[in-house]
Structure 1
Amino acid sequence: MAVSIRASLLSCTLVSIFLVSSAQSCSNYTFTSDRVFYSCSDLPYLEAHLHWNYNPSTGKVAIAYRAKQKSKGWIAWGINPTGRGMVGSQALVAFHNTNGSVTVYPTPITSYNPSMQPEALSFQVSNITAEYSDNEMTIFAVVGPLNNGTLVNHVWQAGSSVSDNVPQIHSTSPPNLQSMGILNFLSG
């Protein structure tokens, strides 16, 4: 009897792990608009996902970065063309502004206390928009061409507050400090 209870518990655990992991996977996500992305990555921290389409003829990448977030918080995703980590990143940030609409813009991260103000990046960014639905914020944009090709150091972040339409400092908990990686837009 103890063996059958263990087997039942193991079976239930495996099914629930499968359902949770498949529900959170980027590969089965459908965007509310007519947007379709052929590549994606479930990022290991901050309940975030990156979707993209790389166009080899132009060297540009259409991206959708989405992350869980409360309505008063902010999200950001960026590429660091000069190294690993936050400083040097060329980021896209989104949040709800004081009138309640979603604001999104590019901002370079030049220090550990960046201004988080709109400013041009070191590479082209176009078609930048954002949306918020079901406690998830999504940034859409086309970036590039990128000088470093398809292999990039990327970072992503989330903060819990915005003051006077400026994202405030994020937590220094391990998930926030570890939210970086290397990504190849060509091979995934």
Structure 2
Amino acid sequence: MAMVLSSKTILFIFTIIISLFFTTSSAETCKNHTFTSKRVFKSCKDLPYLHAYLHWTLYKSSRLVHIAFRAQYGPKGWVAWAINPRSTIMTGSQALVATRDAKGRMSAYTTPIIGYNPSMKPGKLEFRVSKLSAEYANKEMTIFAIVGPLRNLPIVNIVWQVGSVDRKGVPQMHEMESQNLRSAMAIDLS
């Protein structure tokens, strides 16, 4: 007895197969990422919100951490990654911010997050930051830096965020969606 499938059923099955193929073939993780600058890090973590990833190398003797923070965001906007020395909330975070201007130039700077409506203007952090830079490739903004020495190693509280910029390139407040409000955690860098 031969089974006859309707054209709607065949189309439905074909759609499922194609979507499964693209879902599995395009799945991004930190482990399969290659940086355009050929930089290599010893550890990485897929962060649970905002399509973000953290790569790092911890230098225990000096308490320095070489980081790369990646987040998928459009060509105009900002991304930020921060350490909060006291808790896993935004206020009190010491942030590294990357923006991309209308001409496509990337810039990176530091800013302390003092309140719930921070200025996002450049400012000094509670710890040193060196070799700070940013790049935009494949619809991702990436921040590179060496931070530290850090006090609370190997466990640090991190916060990350994405947002838009105004016509002058000034970072605007991030969305108040669930993912934005939950993008913080304690992480073991060892």
Q: CA deviation at 1:72?
A: 1.2
Superposed CA RMSD in Å reads: 2.1
* Unaligned 5+ runs, structure 1: none
* Unaligned 5+ runs, structure 2: 4-9
Residues 1:72 and 1:157: Cα distance change in structure 2 (over 3 Å): same
SS of the counterpart of 1:65? strand
Percent of paired sites with the same residue = 49
Which amino acid is 2:187 matched to?
A: L
Normalised by the size of structure 2, how large is the TM-score? 0.86
Q: Provide the rounded CA distance (Å) in 1 between the counterparts of 2:137 and 2:58.
A: 26
SS of the counterpart of 2:175? coil
Q: CA deviation at 1:105?
A: 0.3
Q: Does residue 88 of structure 1 match 2:55?
A: no
1:55–1:61 Cα contact (<8 Å) kept: yes
Instruction: Select 1:57's aligned residue among 53, 61, 70.
Output: 61
Query: Which of these two proteins has the greater Rg computed from alpha carbons?
Result: 2
Q: In the TM superposition, what whole-angstrom CA distance separates every residue of 1:13-43 from its partner, at most 9, and x where no partner exists?
A: 776554343xx11001011112101100001
Residues 1:130 and 1:42: Cα distance change in structure 2 (over 3 Å): same
Q: Provide the rounded CA distance (Å) in 2 between the counterparts of 1:121 and 1:14.
A: 45
- Residue 134 of structure 1: aligned partner: 138
Which amino acid is 1:44 matched to?
A: P
Q: CA deviation at 1:71?
A: 1.3
Normalised by the size of structure 1, how large is the TM-score? 0.87
1:50–1:65 Cα contact (<8 Å) kept: yes
Q: CA deviation at 1:135?
A: 1.2
Q: Provide the rounded CA distance (Å) in 2 between the counterparts of 1:122 and 1:166.
A: 23
Equivalent residues, number: 179
Q: Provide the rounded CA distance (Å) in 1 between the counterparts of 2:23 and 2:104.
A: 36
